[in-house]
Amino acid sequence: MSWDYQSPWWLPGGNLQTIYAAKVARHFKNTDTQWARERWATPDGDFIDVDWLHTPDAEKDAPLLVLFHGLEGSSHSHYAQAFAAEVQQRGWRLALPHFRGCSGELNLAPRAYHSGDHEEIAWMLSQFRLQHDGAMYAVGISLGGNALMRWAGEQGHAASGVIDGIASVCSPIDLTASGHAIDSGFNKRVYARMFLASMKPRALQKLHQFPGLFDPHALMRVDTLYGFDNVFTAPLHGFKDTDDYWQRASAKPGLASVRVPALVLNARNDPFIPADCLPTPRDVSDWVQLWQPATGGHVGFVAGAFPGHLADMPRAVVEWLKQASI
């Protein structure tokens, strides 16, 4: 199965396709998406908030889709709403676990979340598996997709005992290449600034919880994701520095070890992810399928006549997961 996506003529360029999808397109379709929140206690004394899509018509053993969000994402993100609409149409169930600190409430431990958090993915998927006996799939968006693919590479054949299929969407599986791309030129002025505007205040809340955790003056001086990761993300999660973090957390080197049906979807005009760093068939196992359309931006993939919609990508990804597990 393949997906022949082409962006609409009226929405040219990776930046417009990225920004329009996130800020404009989702508002054109009214949805009655409702979530029910469940709090899970983690083994280290912290918590994870899981939002379950309200699907009263879904059978108990209907397939479950677990959606891992991207950097600073949540169940309010545009892609979460788009996948929710697709799942509702199919009569499936959907759960979105929030990475620590992303559910609207500060987490308790002296840590946050990061792009290679495959141990966290492993624990969350194991909890979903304990609750659900039917078919189970997982999709990771951007950061969440890198962590998911990192997990699959670590697990090898064992992953098939937990999940029936996985997909990453616009994930920076080469974190070094993507990090430097976000930190330069237009991307730095727009996207890096946007991310830092929410990441810095949250980091300072964490410092208030744990005085001395990092240097607040160093944090306030940073204007790049590289600098933020050097002060906050890397040291809090056991990495020497940003370079060590980006190298060890990247999913790309592990794609050859994946042994569960896996889809890796990346637009070649994604402003965050240089096309020349994307995996080729030589980089992946036979279990991995690569979709690399020429357009789509970063988690964009707007389709149809103006004003467009976001339904095509979730439909194609979910259908691939269903077909790949047959």
270 catalytic residue (yes or no): yes
Q: Which candidate in 103, 142, 168, 178 is catalytic? A: 142
Greatest Cα-to-Cα distance within the chain, rounded to the nearest angstrom? 54
Contact 314, 85 (CB under 8 A): yes
For residues 92 and 83, the answer to whether their CB atoms sit within 8 Å is no
Q: CA 255 → CA 147, 153, 290, 299, distances in Å?
A: 12, 6, 11, 21
* Nearest CA-CA partner of 259 in 290, 284, 282: 284
298 is catalytic: yes
Cβ-based neighbour number of residue 28 at 10 Å:
11
CB of 121 closer than 8 Å to CB of 68: yes
Please, are residues 8 and 302 in contact by the beta-carbon 8 Å criterion? yes
Question: Where does residue 169 fall: left (phi above 0), alpha (psi -120 to 50 degrees), or beta otherwise?
Answer: beta
Q: Give the three-class secondary structure for 313.
A: helix
**b/e burial code for range 216-240 (CB count within 10 A of at least 16 → b):** beebeebebbbbbbbbbbbbbbebe
**SS3 of residue 135 by DSSP:** coil
d(CA 99, CA 69): 8
**Secondary structure class of 40 (helix, strand, coil):** strand
Q: Which of 69, 98, 114, 298 is catalytic?
A: 298
Q: Which of 304, 298, 303 is nearest to 14 (CA)?
A: 298
Please name which of 254, 69, 257 lies closest in space to residue 170, comparing C-alpha atoms.
69
Instruction: Give residue 216's identity as a one-letter amino acid code.
Output: P
The catalytic residue among 49, 117, 270, 312 is 270
- Catalytic residue ranges: 142, 270, 298
